[in-house]
Amino acid sequence: MMTTLTAATRAKVLQRQGAAVALVLMVAVSWLVFPRFGSLDNVRDLALQGSFLAVIALGMTFVIITGGIDLSVGSLYALGGVLAAWGSQHGFLVALTLPLLVCGAIGLINGLLIARTNMAPFIVTLASLLFARGLLLAITDEGANTYQIAPDSAFVELGRGTVAGFGYPIFIAVALCVLGGALLNRTGFGQNVFATGGAEQSAILMGVPVARTKITVYTMSGTLAGLAGALTAAYLQSGVTVIGVGTELDAIAVVVIGGTLLTGGMGTVLGTVIGVGLIKVIQNVINQIGTLDSNYQSVVSGVFLLVVVVLQRILRR
């Protein structure tokens, strides 16, 4: 790795600021064009919608910075929701911890397989995607059996409770992202994450516990996906089985739009949060337009992602 990286530095600045600039522009224009966009209700709704994805994408950010990928999070997200809904009949604690433990365990297995046997993250997590989705369908009679959460339970409060109209999940997501940012930038573990993704062989020679780092990030990613599922279930008051299909791709998209290098070694939590904001604002605006088919959300997100990745490529030269 003898190349000089001035181009990459430029790319870094441009990518991160690029997403931020795009977000600011989108927000400003939407505010002017759609009177309802800036309304407190809409902002609250936007933030709430974004918070679930942000929790998943936070874990994905760590995974991608180590140079990996986690395709299992969409399925784990759905599985977490169902487990939380099922667990809610045994009380708040079970409803919250069961999805975290199960999804965390699946993440741990992902990490162990990837770090210890050197299997490709793509394959391992693709297997868990199928595994978790299958498990989910099995425990819900192929989705026919939707577990409901009692509306007056404390667990529902976790998803629906508000402070000044802003839902609890928003605060949870913000708190986790702040913690995640500190973890990434201010701890030895965070440095190991960057080193692992930046130059794995060098990292090993520098004494970085590469295997342990990988295992940790996949466990984190699985746990966070499970938590996002639990929060969603609490919000929806039931374990909806059909959610989370393709969510792993949304998570990857927002992480990359946020300036994290898909090849690893560079990235920020703030960028991911901005990426989430951008995607959610685009969705929101398309909903505001009303006449536009909601499928155009994906079209716009896709184009945006492509632009970012092409920029990464060009600016790295």
Question: For binding to another protein (CB under 8 A), which residues are involved?
Answer: 1-6, 8-9, 182, 185-188, 190-191, 194-195, 197-199, 201-203, 205-208, 261, 265-266
Nearest 5°: the CA angle 163, 169, 172 is: 95
Measure the CA–CA gap between 194 and 196, rounded to whole angstroms.
6
Nearer to another protein among residue 211 and residue 249 (C-beta): 211
C-alpha distances (whole Å) from 307 to each of 145, 257, 273 are: 42, 9, 18
Q: How many CA atoms lie within 13 A of 131 on its CB side?
A: 16
Nearer to another protein among residue 232 and residue 272 (C-beta): 272
Nearer to another protein among residue 206 and residue 314 (C-beta): 206
Amino acid identity of residue 198, one-letter, is G
- Closest distance of CB 253 from another protein, Å: 22
Nearer to another protein among residue 12 and residue 133 (C-beta): 12
Measure the CA–CA gap between 142 and 154, rounded to whole angstroms.
28
- Closest distance of CB 149 from another protein, Å: 38
Nearest 5°: the CA angle 288, 157, 229 is: 65
Amino acid identity of residue 196, one-letter, is T
Measure the CA–CA gap between 198 and 248, rounded to whole angstroms.
23
Nearer to another protein among residue 179 and residue 306 (C-beta): 179
- Closest distance of CB 186 from another protein, Å: 4
- Closest distance of CB 173 from another protein, Å: 22
- Closest distance of CB 68 from another protein, Å: 16
- Closest distance of CB 14 from another protein, Å: 15
Measure the CA–CA gap between 116 and 313, rounded to whole angstroms.
31
- Closest distance of CB 117 from another protein, Å: 21
- Closest distance of CB 6 from another protein, Å: 5
Nearer to another protein among residue 182 and residue 314 (C-beta): 182
Nearest to 133 by CA among 82, 52, 53, 79: 79
Q: What share of the chain is helix, strand, coil (3-state, %, to 5)?
A: 75, 0, 20
The answer for 5, left when phi > 0, alpha when psi is -120 to 50, beta otherwise, is alpha
Nearer to another protein among residue 183 and residue 309 (C-beta): 183
E-strand ranges in the chain read 162-163, 166-167
C-alpha distances (whole Å) from 162 to each of 51, 168, 194, 199, 227 are: 13, 5, 36, 44, 18
Nearer to another protein among residue 27 and residue 208 (C-beta): 208
